[in-house]
Every structure is written in structure tokens, then in C-alpha cells.
Chain A
């Protein structure tokens, strides 16, 4: 979600029916495809405001175009309509959701409606007064992300200011009896420090650590050449993680999410678009995944103009990639299409220019060489262009305005 791998990793353990995606009707894309199940996972990106400027953020690079955020009343209405449709896991992210001063009101309403509420935060702005208010409002879970980027990496790794802030927040999370879940997004510039990161998690008494390798969307896609690790780096990091697991035993559960560029089969992205995930962006645009706004030729509805029910069941944007009528070869005749749904539409679009193509991570894709070439380049002895030619682009409003041509 914001600087995190929780959704960046697409990693939910949702156990659910796949009928929604499997009931492939050969209806035209503008009609309802099949009978979609509930949007079990609703992600509310409350704001694009963020005190951080992470180079690997998945937020759209043109976020500066968003001027008007949804009001408190809009969010409360969205929560009610989503719950009626069967939404039950609620992610509150951004940006930094703590930047909204109505977060406690939103959490209280969500709790009352029966959602399981997950706050995805950098921890910046999480005072004791706020965590207490959030606990009272019924917040179920806090995922604390480490957002080190090169501006902060030294500070973070040399255990000074950032470490103190995180330790303070981690202690608050413990004090208010939340499970301690740390999320660290890994990339070329920090993956060699996995040992220190895990030791830090141990000091903070984390119960779960997610080492989520960056996935390349938004700002991360823009910065991909500087963020993609080499094969060697990845292998070392996995070995370090395994050694730590052996030593730490049951005390800390460590998840290591491999970047999919190193795989031969694509991830079942969002379990198929329009199957279980529903994202609402800060301005109220509803998306079948948090990066889907980039997909060309699709229009996505806004919660200010339409009900969640119509958006989920009937809007063309949500039906377009349901079922498998949209698929091309090699997916169309592939027996694995019911397992991976052809992979990620955004990745297919970013790399091949056509969102209906097979995700090029798949080695059956005629475009798979685009992925292996990137990994080869990242693994070559001197792979990076000099920083002057291609500097890291930080996620901030000024850069966003430049990229948006504003």
C-alpha cells in the first residue's frame, strides 16, 4: 500500500472462491461478466499526502493531478456500501493515512460495520494519543513499514533518528497489544542489509517481518533500473534470511517475497481483476487494483457518481478483465490460466504496450526476453547508468507535476 509490500506484494492470504474469475462468460466486455463474488478486500487510499518520498512507491507518478480528496461523509458512505456487498477486509493506506485527521472516525465506522481494519502506515504521526484513539475506535491491526530510501538509508541503517522513531512506534504497538508486523520493501540499494534489518526487527520484538521485494509500478517503475537487484544480491539475501530463520525459530516469522522478475510463471495478480480486490483512490476513483488507472482504454468510475454495487458488478472498467474472453495466446489455451489468470495486466501493459498480453514474467510469453534482459542488465558487473544521466526520482509533488506535464 503506500510504501509497503503488503499490497505491493499482492500478498493476501485470502482464501476464497474463484468462481468470479472462473465463470468466464463470453459476453461483451461492457456487460456483467459472470456473477462476481463479493469484493472481499477493500483498500481505501485515504490520501496521497505523505511525509516520505520513497523511490519505490507504487502510487501513480501523476498523483499531483488529484486536487480534491473525498470527504469524511464520502468515505463513510463507501464503507457502508462496500460492507453491504460483502467487503470484510479493509485496508487503510495512502500516502500516509495518518495525514487524515478523520482517520479515527473512519476506523470507528468501519469497526461498527464489521470490517477487519488494517492500518498500513510508516508510523510517522502515530502518537500515543492517536494510537489510543484508534484502539478505542476498534482498529484491528497495524502494519508498520520501513520506508528507507537513499535519502534516509544511511540514517536508517546507522541506527539513528529513523531507528529511534520506529522503535518508539514499535513500543506503542506492543503496548496497545497489537501483533507487531514489520514490512520492509527491498531493492538494490538496501537488499545487502537484510541481516541488519532482521536484527533490528528482533530488537523491536517483531512477531512478523515481511521482506517484500519491490514490484515495479508507479515511481518504482520509473526508477526500475536503479532499484532492481542482481541475481547474486537476491540469492545472498535469501540465504541470510534462511540462516536467520533457523536461529530465531518460531519467535519471528519472516516472509520473503521474491521479485517476480526472477520467476518463470506470473503471480495470480489480484486473483484476477474484479475478483476480490477493490481499491478506492483519494479522489474516489474505484479501481480493480491499486495500479490499474494506468491501463489505457478503460474508464474507471468514481464513488461520487455511482454506487459501489454498480461499480463492482456492472461498470465496464471492472468487467473488462473478468473471465478469460479477453485473453490472447499463449494464455487463452493454457491450462494454467485458471491458476494465474495471465498474471498482471499492468505489467503486461508497461512492458509490452498491450494490457491483454500475457504477463512477460511468464516464460511462455513471446515478450519474456524483456524481463530476462532487465535482470541480466541488473546482474552485469557494472550495470547502472551514471547517476547524472538517470537519477533516482523521488516521489514528491514537484516531480509528480513535472511528470504529469502540469
Chain B
């Protein structure tokens, strides 16, 4: 698992594209010759990974959008998996 800190600014990996698909009623992650259908929370996290916002900012945004707290652990755990799968990258 790739570790990441609150100040990292994740963005989608090279060749990946995220979009909402009405036919599947889901966010999907598209990449060369393949696709991952995302569940609701994965879609909400990934759509905020624009390379500008930090992990900390993304967590706060999610907590305020969904009126909840304590999301940091789950969000970073998902992001670590996504980094390993090259869905996400941290550009230097």
C-alpha cells in the first residue's frame, strides 16, 4: 500500500478519465481498453482528485458535503489502493 499524507495533491493517473454514465447510473473510470464502474463513495472521492486540492481539503469537503465527520481514515485507505492501481498519482 502506498502511503500518502494530508498535503499530497492526488490527480487521476495518466490515461485515466472519470465520467458520469447515465446508462449505468454511476461514475466510471475509463482507461485504455478498460473501465471500472465505481460505487458512490469512490466516485465522490475520485471526482475531487484534481491535482489542485490536498487530501486534507478533499476530506473536509466530503465531510461538509455529506454532513458527517471522521472520514479521513476511509478516504486515505481508498486513495492508497487507487494509487497502487494507478487510478491516482501524486505528481511531483
Contact = CB atoms under 8 A, between A and B. Distances in A.
A143 B33 contact: yes
A13 B33 CA distance: 7
Task: Report whether over half of chain A's contact residues are helix, strand or loop; otherwise say mixed.
Answer: loop
Given A15-B37, A118-B32, A140 B23 contact: no
B28 A118 contact: no
Nearest to B29: A15
Nearest to A38: B23
Interface stretch (A51-59, A86-94, A198-206): A86-94
A178 B15 contact: yes
B73 interface: no
Contacts of A208: 32
21 contacts: A11-B33, A12-B34, A13-B33, A13-B34, A13-B35, A15-B36, A15-B37, A38-B23, A38-B24, A86-B22, A86-B23, A88-B23, A89-B30, A89-B33, A89-B35, A116-B31, A140-B17, A141-B15, A141-B33, A143-B33, A179-B14
A142 to B, nearest CB: 9
B33 A118 contact: yes
B32 A14 contact: no
B30 A88 contact: yes
Contacts of A114: 19
Contacts of B32: 118, 140-141, 143, 179, 181, 208
A6 interface: yes
B21 interface: yes
Given A116-B17, A178-B15, A89 B34 contact: yes
A380 B58 CA distance: 62
Interface of B: 14-15, 17, 19, 21-24, 28, 30-37
Nearest to A87: B23
A48 B75 CA distance: 48
A371 interface: no
Nearest to A11: B33
Interface string A210-251: 000000000000000000000000000000000000000000
Nearest to B14: A179
A89 B21 CA distance: 12
Interface string A130-148: 0000000000110100000
Contacts of A364: none
Contact of A6 (B15, B24, B33, B37): B33
A3 interface: no
Nearest to A181: B32
Interface in A87-118: 88-89, 91, 114, 116, 118
Contacts of A177: 14
A177 B28 CA distance: 22
Contacts of B34: 12-14, 89
B82 to A, nearest CB: 14
A86 B24 contact: yes
B23 A116 contact: no
B51 to A, nearest CB: 15
Interface in A137-195: 140-141, 143, 177-179, 181
Of the candidates B21, B23, B24, the one having the most CB atoms from chain A within 10 angstroms of its own CB is: B23
Closest 9 pairs (CB-CB, A-B): A86-B23, A13-B34, A116-B30, A141-B32, A179-B15, A38-B23, A15-B36, A14-B35, A118-B33
A14 B31 CA distance: 10
A118 B35 CA distance: 12
Contact of B33 (A12, A15, A38, A85): A12
Nearest to B23: A86
Of the candidates B21, B28, B30, the one having the most CB atoms from chain A within 10 angstroms of its own CB is: B30
Contacts of B33: 6, 11-13, 89, 91, 118, 141, 143
Contacts of B23: 38, 85-86, 88
A116 B31 CA distance: 8
A178 B31 CA distance: 11
